[in-house]
Amino acid sequence: MHSAPARTHDPMCMGCGHANPGNLGVRVWFEGQRVHGEVLLDERHSGAPGYAHGGAIAAIMDDLLGQVLIPLDRPGVTATITVDFRGPALLGRTLSLESWCEKIDGRKLHMRGEIRDGDTLVAEARALFIHVDVSHWEASGQPLPESWQGWGGEAQNA
């Protein structure tokens, strides 16, 4: 069962932004506090003939792990991310995505995620996100998406 996202993410997001013509095509849905999704990479994402570039896989992971912030109702930023490449990411195949939060320690959110091609583990990642107040993004001078109003309340102190 696919449930609808609780909050619209940035329409210009490189990973999943519907208004960004160069987005990676990440599509996600939530089941409780877990994120599931899929992506279909093509020749624009090539690192070698027929294979996805590792940077594309890493960017997908960052977007995927960050999506967990939405059902947690905790806006945040990536502090560190480690991606372990486990198998080939072939172009033209729909890859399945899953991410979740392993632990919350004050403002620190410890995330995990996987990318699979069928039963084959393509990549796994772990990341540390830091919970911040939505006002963090106001420094860019760009308007924030309307759906971000009231997201997450005040960030807790670590």
Fold designation for 27-134: Thiol Ester Dehydrase; Chain A (3.10.129)
Residues 92-128 have pLDDT tens digits of: 999 999 999 999 999 999 999 999 999 999 999 999 9
Sign of the dihedral defined by the CA atoms of residues 151, 59, 27, 35, in that order: negative
Domain extent listing, the chain: 27-134
Question: Which amino acid, 118?
Answer: G
Residues 22-56 have pLDDT tens digits of: 889 999 999 999 999 999 999 999 999 999 999 99
Burial call 95-132: b when 16+ CB within 10 Å, e when fewer: bebbbbbeeeeebebebbbbbbeeeeebbbbbbbbbbb
Task: Please give the structure tokens belonging to residue 31.
Answer: 């089941």
Q: Which residues are catalytic?
A: 62
pTM equals: 0.89
